[in-house]
Amino acid sequence: MQGEVKPQVCVVGLGYIGLPTAAIIARAGCPVLGLDVTQHVVDTINRGEIHIEEVDLDGLVHGVVQRGLLRASTQIEPADVFVIAVPTPFAKDGHHTPDISYVLAAATEVAGVIKPGDTVILESTSPVGTTEQMRDLMAGLRPDLKFPGKTKETPDVSIAYCPERVLPGRILEELTNNDRSIGGITPRCARKALAFYKRFVRGTCVTTDARSAEMTKLVENAYRDVNIAFANELSIVADRMGLDVWEVIKLATAIRA
């Protein structure tokens, strides 16, 4: 839109998801600050270079840094939209408990600069309820602001969950063209997040609530995991029987009862 003021965006976490996302948002014309806790990551990106391997990402980052649309820092600054893409590994407790401490650390940083009208979007793969936990943490840190789901009045800020569903090696294409589910803490939050993604996503964006969107991502990952395990089992069985597993898979998927 001509003459339109583009939102200032802050992407928190500049790894395999955050850096391509930051670069794509910058390519859409929004000024982006990338925030990372690792100085080497920040320095590399500010030189217009990249610290990860991904097809075509180097040229894109170089271009948006040169045009002044993307810069990186270890210090957060005010923005209109915050996108959080930090790690969510398993805790080292031997029970596969999800460790959301990086998400909560990022939300604490965001809470320090958030202002009325802002939108916060969590993209990290997260257990159900994490977006609400993030909201509760920020609400505790910023009693001066009205948070969604915690007030009967119109909230000051919007909070949503929007998972990534990309395959390494095709990330730029997938970030742009894949369909997405966008889960708001409230329907209003979902609409705000949707308006943001429409700036750079060509795939269909479906709005839902935050908990359903969190569960959707976990279902997708589990489904993929089970299918990969099944294919591995098949190849072992076929090998033992002297069969070509590709031939069997081709026939099994081509011939349906």
9, 14, 30, 114: which one contacts ligand NAD (CB under 6 A)?
Answer: 14
Residues ≥6 apart with Cβ < 8 Å to 61: 19, 23, 45, 48, 49, 50, 70
Of 163, 218, 217, 155, nearest in space to 187 by CA? 155
Q: How far apart are the C-alpha atoms of 196 and 187, rounded to whole Å? A: 14
**d(C-alpha 130, C-alpha 121), whole Å:** 12
- 36 lies in the binding site for ligand NAD (CB under 6 A): yes
Binding residue for ligand NAD, selected from 6, 8, 15, 71, defined by CB under 6 A: 15
Segment contacting ligand NAD (CB under 6 A): 3-11, 31-39, 58-66, 90-98?
A: 31-39
With CB under 6 A as the contact rule, which of the stretches 29-37, 141-149, 151-159, 199-207 interacts with ligand NAD?
Answer: 29-37
Binding of residue 13 to ligand NAD (CB under 6 A): yes
Per-residue x/- track, 212-241, ligand NAD (CB under 6 A)? ------------------------------
CB atoms closer than 10 angstroms to residue 248: 15
Residue 98 vs 238, nearer CB to ligand NAD: 98
**Options 6, 8, 28, 38; binder of ligand NAD; rule CB under 6 A:** 38
Beta strands (DSSP E) in the chain are 9-12, 32-35, 70-73, 81-84, 119-122, 158-161, 180-184, 205-209
CB of 247 to ligand NAD, least distance (A): 31
3-state helix, strand, coil in the chain (%, to 5): 45, 15, 45
Binding range to ligand NAD, per CB under 6 A, among 30-38, 137-145, 154-162, 178-186: 30-38
Looking at the DSSP bridge assignments, the partners of residue 161 are 122, 183
Mark 171-210 as b/e (b = at least 16 C-beta within 10 Å): bbebbeebebbbbbbbeebbebbbebbeebbeeebebbbb
Identify which range of 3-11, 24-32, 98-106, 226-234 contacts ligand NAD by CB under 6 A.
98-106
The residue at minimum Cβ distance from ligand NAD is 15
**Least distance from ligand NAD to the Cβ atom of residue 101, Å:** 9
22 vs 155, which CB is nearer to ligand NAD? 22
CA distance 114 to 82: 9
Per CB under 6 A, contacts with ligand NAD among 51-90 are 85-88
The token pair that represents 127 in the structure block: 């257990």
Query: How many residues contact ligand NAD, by CB under 6 A?
Result: 24
**Distance, CA of 70 to CA of 241 (rounded, Å):** 55
Find the part of the chain contacting ligand NAD (CB under 6 A) among 111-119, 128-136, 160-168, 180-188: 160-168
The two tokens of residue 98 are: 């999800």
Chain residues in the site for ligand NAD (CB under 6 A):
12-18, 35-38, 41, 85-88, 102, 105-106, 124-125, 164, 166, 168
